[in-house]
Every structure is written in structure tokens, then in C-alpha cells.
Amino acid sequence: MKFLYDDESFSFEALRAAGYAVHGGADLGEVLVTCRQIPEGDEEAWSAQWAATAARIERIGRDALAGGHRVSAREALLRASNYYRTADFYRRENPAADAESARLARASRQTFADAAALLDTPARALRIPYEDTTLPGYLFLADDSGTPRPTVLFHGGYDSTLEEDYFALAAGALRRGYNVIAFDGPGQGSTVREQGLHFRPDWEAVVTPVVDFALAVPEVDAERLVLIGMSLGGYLAARAAAFEHRLVACVLYDGVYDFHEVVAASADRAASTPGGMEALMAQNTMVRWVVRNGRWTLGASGIDELVKAAEAYTMAGVADRITCPTLVLEAENDQFFKGQPQRLLAELTCEKELISFREDEGAGEHCHEGAMLLFHQRTFDWLDTLLAR
């Protein structure tokens, strides 16, 4: 689905930012006026213009808060958080040494934290024990009654952040009476930037401590614990569910069978491009971003090391270990994992279902960006039905 840009990556990321408007993460006019100042493929302009919009909206939020306007402050700060995240998206050439990237990431986290405290039921910031450190998270509650409720454990994927998790899933879950524990695992958000943690393929080592933590939270119904993973999280959550059997259900948003194939395809494409990978990266925004982000989040020094590191990220020989009912989602036009949800579904031996999202219903993009309400309707209707049994 083309949205504002011919550049496939710019189009997708603009749609992603705009799509969160349904849960307060954007206002369409703000997205349009920001994008019209950004030329095709100009990553510097992308960062600068989104950062300027974010700062302007943050000022609205700060002024509203100072004036005692709680709702106005919350709304503006939520939008600012999403815009700061968007401003930082392409700053991946050397993010560890990029002061502006660090500033934008901090601003996204802080504006969200300030907004989360202003929710009708304020979110609780978490530090979840993990090995010799902790993982950042939020506990979002449907209300303040203290009643144990079905609870979703939710994490993102290759590039998502804890703060984005609210717009992508938590807001829709809360409306339906679910509590949510959202968290960043190794390689995600502040864990890679501030703790030096990189992705690991054995994601059960991440989810099991989160399950342990969740079971000690009074508002969590221990018999109705659901795991949902977004984007590359569709592999990560599937891998975790294969070994962590205290889950009542798993949702793969979307299904991922083999991450290595995606990375290797870029390497193969570079091999047939005059000038190799550097030339391909100069020509293609999507490939450039995938490689740069992978080097950072997987701790790889170059494309060969990145391809090698990705080999372990496969559900081959593992999928049949999942025992809980599993919902696999797929997007018709998925530019990263097209065809992989069906391959994963074929190897599942648990109770399973596939839901396909089509282009002609406005939901065919990766992770159904631009169709959050439809995605939530189908996903939570499936969960509601399952949990009612």
C-alpha cells in the first residue's frame, strides 16, 4: 500500500506512524505536514522534521500539564513519544556513537513515561529480573479494582520499542478488559542502547523470567496468560512458547518461520549487484536499514557475521513443541516475511488457526500497519472465544 512516498521503506514507516492515531499516537494532519517537508529517501530530513514535530507537540503537552489539563497533556505526550521514535528510526549507521539518536530515544521514553502516569489507570513502570540484570517493562491495567484478569505478555521485534507497544497492542487489549505486561527483551529499545544486550535466538530464556514475574503480580490471572510477539517477535514468541508451557495461548503477529532467509536474501542480492553490499545499501533504503539495524541489535560487525548470526533464528525442528493454542497472522503484502506464516502453521501440531489480512481491506502491510482496529478485532475476538471455553 503506497502511503505518501514511492520509497517502500518511507511509505511503510509513514503509515506506521500515522496508523497509531487510532490509539492516540498520532494526528493525521501532523503526519501529513511533517511528511510533505521530507523528500523521497532523505534520511537526514526525515529525522530532522520528525524531531521538530515531536518537540512542538511535546511543548503542547508540557504547557497543558503545567496548566492542569491532564487529558490534553496525556494526548500530546503520547503523540510526541511516537514522533520521537519515528525521528530516530533511520539513525542506524552508528547509533552507539550518535548523540542525536540517543537524545531522540530518551525523549521518546520520557514523554511516554510522563503520559503513562496520566492514563485513567496509570501504568506501572517495571524492572523485570533477567539473568544478572533487569528488563524494562510496563504493567497496563484495565482498571484499578485489583481484580485478576487475563493478561497479555507482549514484546516487539527487530526494531520496536517498549513505548510503541502501547499503541501497537496494549491500548486495544485494555479496552477489552485484558491487562498487559509489555517489555523490551535483549536487542530491543533501551536494552541494546543502555545495557549492551543483543538479540538471542533462545527467546524462552527471556520469556520464562517474565512469566515468573507476571505470576507474582496480583492482577494477573495465572490461568489466562497469553504471549504475543510482533514482527520478528513472531519468531521470538513462537520459540519461547515451544519451551515455556505456562501459557494458555500464543499469538504470532505475524508468523515468522526463518529469519535467516531474510538476511541471506539481502546478502545474495548484494552479491549480484555491481559494487556489492555497499552499492546495494546506497541504492535501497530498506536493505540499508535492515543491515544497519541488524549489525547493532545482533552485535554483528558486518554482513557476513550478520548472516551467520541469523542462522539460529528458525522454527525448523522446534515448532512442533508448542502445545498451547496458537494464532498465526499473515499480511498479504508483507515485504519481510511473505509466505512464512503458512510454513510455520504447517509445522504446528497444537490447536492452531491462521488469519490472513488482505490488501483490499487495507490491512495487507507488514504487521497490518494502518489497520490497527481490524487487527485488534480479529485477534482479541479469537482470544475472547478461546478463553471463554
Q: How much is the CA Rg of the chain, to the nearest whole Å? A: 20
Backbone angles phi, psi at 333, to 5 degrees: -105, 20
Alpha-carbon gap, residue 172 to 73, rounded angstroms:
21
Name the residue among 136, 50, 52 with its Cα closest to residue 91: 50
DSSP string for 184-252: --TTSTHHHHHS-----S-THHHHHHHHHHHTT-TTEEEEEEEEEEETTHHHHHHHHHHH----SEEEE
Selecting among 9, 101, 160, 231, the annotated active-site residue is 231
Active site annotation includes 81: no
Other C-beta atoms within 10 Å of 163: how many?
30
Report residue 242 CA to chain centroid gap: 21
Contacts of 14 (CB under 8 A, 6+ apart): 3, 4, 5, 31, 35
The residue type at 58? E
Active site residues: 231
